[in-house]
Amino acid sequence: MSALATPPQTYTVTRADLVRYAGASGDFNPIHYSDRIAAAMGLPGVIAHGMLTMGLAARALSTWAGGPDRVVSFTVRFTSMVVVPDDDAGVALEVSGEVAEPGEDGLVPVSVTVRCGEQVVLGRAVAHVRAA
Amino acid sequence: MQDAHRAPRDPLTDVIDELVGQPFVTPAAYEVSRAKIREFADAVGETSPICHDVDAARAAGHRDLVAPPTFAVIPAFRGLYEVMSRVGAPLHQQVHGEQGFTHHRPIVAGDELVTTATLERTRAVAGNHFLTVSAVVADASGAPVTTARSVVVVLGGAS
């Protein structure tokens, strides 16, 4: 059985992406779009939805496994915030994965790490995928 | 003289303890539309044809468009809301600590999803409450589609 390849995936997140995700998910917490409210909450700036970061990590899993229907489980811990500047460049997130031996159920465990620069923003992230 | 070893009891503790183990069901089913699946897929950049093209989804053996794996947050959070609205802490005091999903089958367009959420356990650490909430998302037949688990941290109001 061929091992699942998990080439690192890099995704850029801009303010426009936060607005798009807010609308798609229904999460309109203003810390994800308002500098004023983010500052009032003591945050270093407008931050990305944790669930957007998880959603991008799931996109990487879908890419590696050969489809979103192959991601059977996915659990993450939100370890630090992703600050998204109000510019056109946005911020880059790098998703990497480490594959372990399949279990008796045939599912392949994948440890996922998401980094923003040097900072790990998703920790203890483990998925189980059905290999193609 | 006050007992220096005994902190005053946090009133939120009683509210939270009362809720543990009680199932809360979303009052109305959430209907999954093709448009919402495409919109969510676009928002996370998921380009798989089975999220966008009905023929591709059917060719892959699905009844209709397939939702990306974290789309399940939409019905799961509808259940979580039923619990958190009873806790009564304002949104800005809540931090999302952890999230997990186990899919028994993918969510597809046309699903009518009802969520049953239960506060499973709670612990207080340094004035903050860590709430673990499970949410079982079921389809119109009552079969479970996704089991979600969230840890929400309610930040302590004092100090």
Contact flag A69-B106 (C-beta cutoff 8 Å):
yes
Other beta carbons within 10 angstroms of residue A27's beta carbon come to 19
- The Cα–Cα gap between B76 and B115 comes to 7
Q: Which helix (H) or strand (E) holds B153?
A: strand B144-154
The first and second tokens of residue B109, run together, are 């367009």
> Helix/strand/coil (H, E, C) string of B44-101?
HCCCCHHHCCHHHHHHCCCCCCECCHHHHHHHHHHHHHHHHHHHCCCHHHEEEEEEEE
- The residue of chain B nearest to residue A40, with distances taken between CA atoms, is B92
Name the residue with higher pLDDT: B1 or A20. Answer: A20
Fold of B11-154: Thiol Ester Dehydrase; Chain A (3.10.129)
Question: How many inter-chain contacts (A to B, CB under 8 Å) are there?
Answer: 98
User: C-alpha angle with apex B24: B21 to B27, nearest 5 degrees?
Assistant: 175
Q: Please, what's the b/e burial string for A76-94 (b: 16 or more CB within 10 A of its CB; e: otherwise)?
A: bebbebbebeeeeebbebe
- The residue of chain B nearest to residue A13, with distances taken between CA atoms, is B44
Q: Where are the domains of chain B?
A: 11-154
- The Cα–Cα gap between B29 and B112 comes to 6
pLDDT range class, residue B91, cuts 50, 70, 90: confident
pLDDT range class, residue A44, cuts 50, 70, 90: very high
Q: How confident is the model at residue B2, as a pLDDT? A: 52
Other beta carbons within 10 angstroms of residue A117's beta carbon come to 11
Is the pLDDT at B159 greater than 50? The verdict is: no
Contacts with B70 from chain A: Cβ below 8 Å? 51, 54-55, 58, 74
What does pTM read for this prediction?
Answer: 0.94
Of the candidates A41, A54, A68, which has its C-beta nearest B99's C-beta?
A: A54
- Numbered residues of chain A with Cβ closer than 8 Å to any chain B Cβ: 11, 17, 20-21, 23-27, 29, 31, 41, 50-52, 54-56, 58-59, 61-62, 67-69, 71-78
Question: Which residues, other chains included, contact B142 with Cβ-Cβ below 8 Å and sequence gap of 6+?
Answer: none
Contacts with B102 from chain A: Cβ below 8 Å? 72-73
Contacts with B92 from chain A: Cβ below 8 Å? 29, 31, 41
Q: How confident is the model at residue A57, as a pLDDT? A: 98
Is the pLDDT at B102 greater than 50? The verdict is: yes
Mean pLDDT, residues B121-147 taken together: 96
Digit-coded pLDDT (tens) for B51-85: 999 999 999 999 999 999 999 999 999 999 999 99
Nearest CA to CA, how far is A32 from chain B (Å)? 12
Pick from A31-40, A63-72, B46-55: least confident? A31-40
Percent share of chain A, pLDDT over 70: 98
Is the pLDDT at B158 greater than 50? The verdict is: no
Contacts with B46 from chain A: Cβ below 8 Å? 58-59, 62, 68
User: C-alpha angle with apex A77: B121 to B139, nearest 5 degrees?
Assistant: 65
pLDDT range class, residue B9, cuts 50, 70, 90: confident
Distances (CA, A) of B74 to A14, A19, A116, B30, B46: 22, 16, 25, 9, 17
Name the residue with higher pLDDT: B3 or B145. Answer: B145
Of the candidates A29, A56, A76, which has its C-beta nearest B45's C-beta?
A: A56
Amino acid at B30: Y
Q: How confident is the model at residue B4, as a pLDDT? A: 54
Q: How confident is the model at residue B157, as a pLDDT? A: 59
Is the pLDDT at A60 greater than 60? The verdict is: yes
Q: How confident is the model at residue B5, as a pLDDT? A: 62
Supply the angle between the helices A15-25 and B34-44 in degrees, to the nearest 10.
150
Query: Does residue A120 contact residue A80 with C-beta atoms inside 8 Å?
Result: yes
Contact flag A67-B48 (C-beta cutoff 8 Å):
yes
- The Cα–Cα gap between B102 and B23 comes to 19
Of the candidates B46, B74, B98, which has its C-beta nearest A26's C-beta?
A: B74
**B128 interface with A at CB cutoff 8 Å:** no
Contacts with A67 from chain B: Cβ below 8 Å? 48, 50, 60, 66
Mean pLDDT score of chain A, rounded to an integer?
Answer: 95
Q: How confident is the model at residue A33, as a pLDDT? A: 95
